[in-house]
A and B are shown apart, each in its own frame.
Chain A
Amino acid sequence: MLEKNVTLSFKGCVQGALMCVPVFPGVIALGAVFGTVAAQKGLTFVETILMNSIVFAGASQFVAMEVYADPLNWATLIAMVGVTAAVNMRMLLIGASLRPWLGQVPGYQTYPALFLLTDLNWLLTVARYDKGDRDWGIYLGSGLIVWAVWSLSVIPGYFAGSLITDSKAFGLDVVLPAFFVALLVPLWKGKRQTVSWLVAGLVAWATWALVGGYWSIFTGAIAGALAGAYLDE
């Protein structure tokens, strides 16, 4: 099943990078919002840049910032890493889906490149693979450009966000949950999602009421995934 004619070219990298241009506004807006959230939570500029560029996984960064509290203790630190793992669990699947394409490429090239894996460049790349493209520069170029834009976009958000004193009056506190809801809408396909989301919601609600904190993200996610797994087609 492994592809034999896999190539890597500079032209492919440029193509991959150009394919990402239409989504730049979305990436920049989200990165800027992260900068604003980080500033509001009291992170220093360097801390913000480091987290944004090294972790490079938008949704999990936001959820980790929801958990974050200053001063940071070990329990909170472990919770931040835990929610990051839970939110990014889907990367197991999207990474697995790249195996048939990149399986013949040497590991010293693919494993560093997997650092750049995001839903965004994965979706764009797989669409090209379906059309018969086998130049994995498309993946590499799109990953690099999204990383660069994401890394820079946090800067204006960090400083502009600091100027806004009352985030609630500007509705900034609903930006993040609203983005999640917007991502949720296209995921709905039918009964499977309805049941899975109801189970996730009920378990999350119960956990939130009984334990509080952020454990509801874990318990709800696991319950919803199990419901999805055990529902018949």
Chain B
Amino acid sequence: MSEGALSADTMFLIAVLGMASVTYALRAGGYWVMGRLTITPKMRRGLEALPGAIIVSTVLPIILQGGLAVGLCLIVAAIVQLKVKKEYIAVFCAAVAAAGLRAAGL
């Protein structure tokens, strides 16, 4: 922020272009490939398993680093999501739980 809100770092711009390019390649790539070959059931199952595997692999280190309070808040999020099936309510409850636990000194 110190260099001004309207500036942008060159390295950061390269990162954004890299992220955008790889994302577009994936958005268009599956569509492109599908015009040329058939995805085997094994490939399909692997790709279907990917989102869950990514979420687990992303969240687990956050819990390991964040400790008991973070772990409890994420359990709250999972339970609320099971009950009401609304992501924004689950997130809100987890944040409230985190604020409460921190206020209690955990």
What is the interface of chain A, defined by CB distance below 8 A to chain B?
25-26, 29, 39, 42-47, 50-51, 54-57, 60-61, 63-64, 66, 68, 71-74, 77-78, 80-81, 84-99, 102-103, 110-111, 114-115, 117, 162, 168-175, 177-188, 192-193, 196-197, 199-201, 203-205, 208, 214, 216-231
CA distance A229 to B70 in the complex (A): 31
CA distance A29 to B64 in the complex (A): 27
Are A183 and B87 in touch, CB under 8 angstroms?
yes
Contact with B103, one of A85, A90, A169, A220 (Cβ below 8 angstroms): A169
A77-B14, A84-B22 known; A224-B49 Cβ under 8 A: yes
Are B9 and A178 in touch, CB under 8 angstroms?
no
Minimum CB–CB distance for A143 against chain B, Å:
10
A196-B52, A224-B52, A228-B53 known; A185-B47 Cβ under 8 A: no
Minimum CB–CB distance for B40 against chain A, Å:
9
List 11 extra interface pairs beyond A46-B6, A173-B66, CB under 8 A.
A25-B88, A44-B7, A87-B58, A93-B30, A169-B103, A171-B94, A175-B91, A178-B77, A181-B77, A182-B78, A218-B57
Are A192 and B70 in touch, CB under 8 angstroms?
no
Interface SS of B by simple majority = helix
Are A50 and B58 in touch, CB under 8 angstroms?
no
Interface bits B12-23 vs A (CB < 8 Å: 1, else 0): 111111111011
Interface SS of A by simple majority = helix
CA distance A198 to B15 in the complex (A): 32
Minimum CB–CB distance for A56 against chain B, Å:
8
Are B64 and A50 in touch, CB under 8 angstroms?
no
Are A91 and B22 in touch, CB under 8 angstroms?
no
Most chain B Cβ neighbours within 10 Å, of A55, A78, A177, A187? A177
Q: How many residues of B contact A (CB 8 A)?
A: 78
Are A186 and B85 in touch, CB under 8 angstroms?
yes
A51-B16, A117-B27, A220-B56 known; A172-B95 Cβ under 8 A: yes
CA distance A218 to B85 in the complex (A): 28
Minimum CB–CB distance for B37 against chain A, Å:
10
Question: Please, which residues of chain A bring their CB within 8 A of the CB of B43?
Answer: 229
Are B27 and A91 in touch, CB under 8 angstroms?
yes
Question: Please, which residues of chain A bring their CB within 8 A of the CB of B60?
Answer: 201, 204-205, 208, 216, 220
Contact with A171, one of B62, B85, B88, B95 (Cβ below 8 angstroms): B95
CA distance A73 to B15 in the complex (A): 10
Question: Please, which residues of chain A bring their CB within 8 A of the CB of B1?
Answer: 39, 42, 44, 162
Are B87 and A26 in touch, CB under 8 angstroms?
yes
Most chain B Cβ neighbours within 10 Å, of A50, A175, A178? A178
